[in-house]
Amino acid sequence: MQTLVTRFHLLLLTVTLAISGVGALRIPDDFIYLAHWSGNTADWLWPRETIFVAPVAQLLLMATFFLLGRLLTKNHYAKSQHILDPALTALMSVVAATQLGLLLAGIGSDLDFIRVTAFALGVVLVVLGIILFEAERHTYAGLRMPWPLRSDRAWRIVHRVTGLAYGLAGLALLALAWFDTGLATRVLGFAAALLLPALVAGLATLLFDRS
């Protein structure tokens, strides 16, 4: 069956559910996440129940990619599987890492794992941005879209625009990790850094492939 959801994705969901279960047992009922700071005052508070958001987010991601895999033609699926499969893995891994960070914060750990995740993801995106920016056209390498990039010029422009988008997203995450901006901005930064460059890539293929 043509599906983008693998056993590894189910494993990531299971890990996140396990973290949620531990959080439900170990995090005090009256615990409040100080999600954002304005000066010395926390102006954005998240309830303890925030730990139950991650499994729902992962289920939605899996459902979206499952439907996408079924809707793609066999030809498009074969061309895009090597991009979409790791994309889902990256998204679910970041959600799982964020969930672990929320658990550690909730039980009073000094390790800011969400900050660690921001540093790691930022470095990965900067490296990915450099690779895409410097990429040379190849039959099997590079971005894969449902529509082809017919000219070498369009291929080069799209990859440089996308590379810049991922590079800037990575630098933004590194800045969020370096400065103490609160966990809310980092979590929202994860979503923006993973989704916006992909949107830029899709739009770039439509805008620049006109020659």
Token digits of residue 132: 């895409």
Tokens 């809707």 label which residue? 71
22, 51 contact by CB (below 8 A): no
46-87 pLDDT per residue, tens: 999 999 999 999 999 999 999 988 887 787 777 777 778 888
pLDDT in tens, 137-191: 654 455 555 555 566 677 787 888 889 999 999 999 999 999 877 888 999 999 9
Distance CA 169, CA 192 (A): 8
79-85 contacts at long range (C-beta below 8 A, 24 or more positions apart): 79/144, 80/144, 80/145, 80/146, 81/4, 82/144, 83/143, 83/144, 84/4, 85/4, 85/6
Distance separating alpha carbons of residues 205 and 159, to the nearest angstrom: 9
Bridge partners, 37 (sequence order):
42
pTM metric for this prediction: 0.85
pLDDT tens profile 193-203? 999 988 888 78
Altogether, the residues listed in the chain come to a count of: 211
What digits encode the pLDDT tens for the residues 3-34?
889 999 999 999 999 999 999 999 999 999 98
Give the separation between CA 206 and CA 42, rounded to whole angstroms: 43
